Structure 1
């Protein structure tokens, strides 16, 4: 009997259903070895229908993403980690809440057609298999990002398919903007927390499936030159410039990267050379001519987990995870803006060429060495930590390939500097992507600046106006955001995400009825958007309509039974109804799923020991050469 946990429905307190499948014991009969298999093959080929009905269940087609989530939405619990419930990697929730699924109301971008896991990872391929339809079957090679298995197994065909998939353009890089470092250092900044919503206990990123608390920065923008390939932009020799690269997820339905992201090397590399070939800046280089570890100061995409003593989780010892130093992943249909400091010497010969590459190595250098040759030396280890050092001299270790997923180049002309934006309609999406990356890292004024230029580049683009409002709402300037949302609705009446943000403006003003009208308009188009449903439940609670709030919040749990915000508001609503038993149950579930804030104390030691890791932990940070 096999049990596969599926995160859908509310059959268990932990929100997991189970698929049951079993194979009856074969009768013991006296036949020649292999003859039963041959008979089975003959009968299957003669009439495939019974075989298909046995192994292809309806839910595999009707609920294929939920079926995939049985293995691709995971958590650890007390019996495994001797600690508590803790979310592991999670491909399902960010797909479900995104524009890729067609179920999320608040995405930045929406494809022409929604897609599921199988659309990307089981593409149609020519085959003469008896199950083919018009000469095609869905590939069972499951192309994704695991190039390591194909490499060590010397499977050239799987290597070719995986490399082609990784370089298919599902993610892109753009060198977009620059600012003078000397000026930006003197600008005033203010930091504050963006929301008080409860956070999930997770070792993974949380995207559009929830309102995520975090710090935001209010700062003056200063001088900007963008885009870098616009005519007339120049930079002064003897100056250091802050160059912004934008990594944009396009044809991907979940976070990038995905999977067990504590064990990979995924990073953005940038190199600057002058016209003589002299290297001026190199961030993200790999030691030993590309065979060793990535430099610690690189811009990584990963989950940096810590054990009970503050040691890095770098051996897939996830059961010892107790805290998170940082998580940096890019949601589907979104972007990350990366800042590099590029010094331009006075004797530099122009133009200066910048090249950035998004690199992927599965697995990390340390983990590969540990798997093949790791021998523990001195130190302590227990159920919650491993403080031992390891040697890697006991066996040969394969050098796993590094695949470049995307790259971009730009030339910086030298001369009298020109710090001004160049607004062209053709660059509207680039301005928008830059702004999205700034918004997601909490740089609200920078994001507002970028989105204002989106409205200038293409005034009829409704999301440009709406994105200005998003930045203003996070800043707390809700009334200033109102005309921008109204403009978006005038350009695109019925735009669900505009109704959602208009509801947030009305809620902040105390207009709960107006907020509900807009949220219902959003829900009518996207009935499975968890954040909209949670907001409906919260506002009904604030209106003291506790029974209605319970019904709304129960809808959230039909999408995700582990939604921590829904359990919190259900606890409050049941208390309002005087239903102590139900409130007590929801309180237990809320405490089960909420983050352990005290665990952040474990980050103190690694932050003190590594300036590079502490820098990466900051939502907004620069990478110096």
Structure 2
């Protein structure tokens, strides 16, 4: 009912887990009366004097702090632990708050002109003849999960602004790693700013960047018979304001299907297909998370309290991208073309036991009831091995944006050399776009190439002398060079622009910590806690500060908080 949300008196921070307080209005007796006369009397009072109703059911924080207002029900806090294992089932608030739609963020590759909150997408304004409608419009209260103005798909498709396409390919002369098609790596935590290349059983076949072919930028694209090919699929969430997938992960399964067929319909390669029991093959690329109990069984319940171990966790940050790589061989007897189809599917696994189609003969949930989220196709011409590619550059609509998102996806997974090549192409084609030079600055910093980073910084400064994002990355470059005092001066000058950006605040604090200014670092770390009270990395940093300062009581307090929140992941710097 309306009262479920609108009777909220206050929010208990942004910890989630149902942390809000509700209260009954003075007129509750009449409004909920089981007598027709009582409800009619309340309706008459409402029309005569609507102000008390409005003041109670539409409090200022519901509009001014919409994200925090939604957090109690749309964030299940990692602090909800069992035997030291944090169960991160859903956290839409933090993923939105750290992303570009909540404001300007130093870690984001995307900048938007206007801040957007939960209601902007999930409760858009719609026409209404309600007497309280402002300018004839009210917020849609159907809470549509996925919205996309450009969507033209069928009814069974979700309206979700996710795009998928075969982005690039390249000849591959090495052997396919045995683990290439294992389940995707455990990206914990999901933090776009954390560029650490983690140890994982999943490997990316290395290639020479100059050998990459990008069909959207070419007049014609070809592959050779008998050739091993690395194929990159780009999945972009450029228009999504929180992690993808955003719902409770164990209840759903989201994966990529890649199918390659020749012109006779023969399957050359297939990943993400269903077996005879309706299960997705284990080598597919999945998004979401799976939690197993102490018996090794996958949990499908929303609370996750029986969880013993996180099997995997992988989500795409808001306004970002994933690049998924596959390697296949072109048959010697292939026809003149190959059709490559990339599809993102999802299905709901928490179905009724009474539904005979919800399980297969092995008493397992089936993925046969799959829904198309996004789909795209590409046809590649197949030639003899002696033929050469036609590499005439073209300017197709949307090609530059797709190429930029491809670079973002490569950067996120630590393939810096190829990401650098992509951003160099972007800078050559559009040298006036400051985003490309900022991207080159970030990539060169990650590679440790300080001179190249300085050149990119200089070009960015020439284009936009007054840009706080450039200021931040200038400070990060100075920090890389060991010029901590100069970096702190810049951080201090631009702090007001990033007062709610936990990544900026943490970087400021870490720099002060490295300088030995521990008390000042504590002040900055406390600002992070004011924005994100359950930020486990910052509580670890505070614990180390109090240990140095010899403040035993505060140290014990932070120790308890950290142990409550930490997720068996060794603490490390955010950059």
Q: Is the Cα contact below 8 Å between 1:423 and 1:453 reproduced in 2?
A: no
Q: CA deviation at 1:129?
A: 2.6
Q: CA RMSD in A?
A: 3.8
CA–CA separation in structure 2 for the residues paired with 1:529 and 1:18: 24
Separation of aligned partners in 2, 1:85 and 1:341: 35
Q: 1:368 aligns with which of 348, 351, 354?
A: 351
**Do the aligned partners of residues 102 and 562 (structure 1) sit closer, same or farther apart at CA in structure 2, a change above 3 Å counting?**
same
How many angstroms apart in 1 are the aligned matches of 2:189 and 2:158?
A: 21
Q: CA deviation at 1:413?
A: 0.9
Q: CA deviation at 1:401?
A: 5.0
Listed one character per residue, the Cα deviations across residues 404-447 of structure 1 (whole Å, up to 9, x for unaligned) are 23222211011145468765565332221111111111222222
- Matched-pair contact (CA < 8 Å) for 2:227–2:329: yes
Q: Which runs of 5+ in 1 are unaligned?
A: 147-159, 187-201, 377-388, 599-625
Q: 1:445 aligns with which of 401, 404, 417?
A: 417
In structure 1, what is the Cα distance between the partners aligned to 2:28 and 2:502? 46
The separation in 1 between residues aligned to 2:362 and 2:78, in whole angstroms, is 26
User: Does 1:405 pair with 2:373?
Assistant: yes
Relative to the length of structure 1, the TM-score reads 0.77
* Structure 1 residue aligned with 2:342: 356
Aligned equivalent of 2:238, options 238, 250, 253:
250
Look up the match of 2:108: 107
> What is the distance in 2 between the residues matched to 1:338 and 1:203?
14
Equivalences for residues 490-569 of structure 1 within 5 A: 490-569=462-541
Cα distance in structure 2, aligned partners of 1:115 and 1:83? 35
Matched position secondary structure for 1:345: coil
Task: Give the match for residue 172 of structure 1.
Answer: 163
Give the secondary structure class of the aligned counterpart of 2:345: strand
Aligned partner of 2:448 in structure 1 is 476
Change (3 A) 1:17 1:556: farther
Counterpart of 1:284 (choices 264, 268, 272) is: 272
CA contact (8 A) 1:352 1:411 kept: yes
- Pair 232,445 (structure 1): closer, same or farther in 2 beyond 3 Å: same
Q: What are the Cα deviations for residues 468-488 of structure 1, in whole angstroms up to 9, with x where unaligned?
A: 232232233345423223322
Query: In structure 2, do the counterparts of structure 1 residues 214 and 203 end up closer, same or farther at CA, with 3 Å as the change threshold?
Result: closer
- The answer to whether the 8 Å contact 1:97/1:103 transfers is no
TM-score normalised per structure 2:
0.83
For structure 2, the 5+ residue unaligned runs are 178-185, 571-575
Partner SS, residue 391 of structure 1: coil
**Cross-structure match for 1:259:** 247
Instruction: Report what 1:325 is aligned to.
Output: 311
Q: How many correspondences in the alignment?
A: 542
8 Å Cα contact 2:89-2:302 kept in structure 1: no
**How far off is 1:116 after superposition?**
0.7
Distance in structure 1 (CA, Å) of the matches to 2:362 and 2:329: 38
Residues 1:269 and 2:261 are matched in the alignment: no
Q: Is the 8 A contact 2:290 2:298 kept in 1?
A: yes
Q: Distance in 2 between matches of 1:232 and 1:375?
A: 45
Aligned counterparts of 1:185 and 1:475: Cα–Cα separation in 2:
26
1:292–1:560 Cα change, 3 Å? same
Q: Distance in 2 between matches of 1:509 and 1:32?
A: 73
Q: Is the 8 A contact 2:12 2:21 kept in 1?
A: no
Aligned to 2:573: none
Deviation string 1:55-76 (CA, Å, 9 cap, x unpaired) is 1111101111110111112226
231-240 or 327-336, larger mean C-alpha shift? 231-240
Q: Note closer, same or farther for the CA distance 1:205–1:346 as it changes in structure 2 (3 Å cut).
A: same
Which moved further from structure 2: 60-69 or 300-309?
Answer: 300-309
Paired with 1:328 and 1:130, the residues of 2 have a C-alpha distance of 46
The residue matched to 1:355 in structure 2 has which SS?
A: strand
Is it true that 1:71 corresponds to 2:58 in the alignment?
no
Equivalent residue in structure 2 for 1:457, among 413, 429, 447: 429
Partner of 1:144: 145
CA contact (8 A) 2:220 2:389 kept: no
For the 8 Å contact 1:300–1:328, the answer to whether it is kept is yes
Change (3 A) 1:84 1:171: closer
Q: How far 1:107 moved relative to its partner?
A: 1.0
1:70-94 CA deviation, whole Å, 9 max, x = no partner?
111222656x746565443111112
Is the Cα–Cα contact under 8 Å of residues 82 and 308 in structure 2 kept in the other structure? no
Task: State the alpha-carbon separation in 2 of the partners of residues 37 and 329 from structure 1.
Answer: 47
1:150 aligned residue = none
| Corresponding residue number in structure 2 for 1:199 | none
Q: Could you tell me which residue of structure 2 aligns to residue 607 of structure 1?
A: none
Separation of aligned partners in 1, 2:381 and 2:228: 14
Distance of 2:247 and 2:342 partners within structure 1 = 24
User: Is contact 1:5–1:19 with CA below 8 Å preserved after alignment?
Assistant: yes
Contact map agreement 2:82 2:306 (CA 8 A) in 1: yes
Q: Quote how far apart the aligned CAs of 1:398 are.
A: 11
Q: CA deviation at 1:41?
A: 2.9
Instruction: Write out aligned runs for 1:153-164 (5 A).
Output: none
Show the counterpart of 1:603: none
Question: Residues 84 and 6 of structure 1: is their aligned pair in 2 closer, same or farther, counting only changes over 3 Å?
Answer: farther
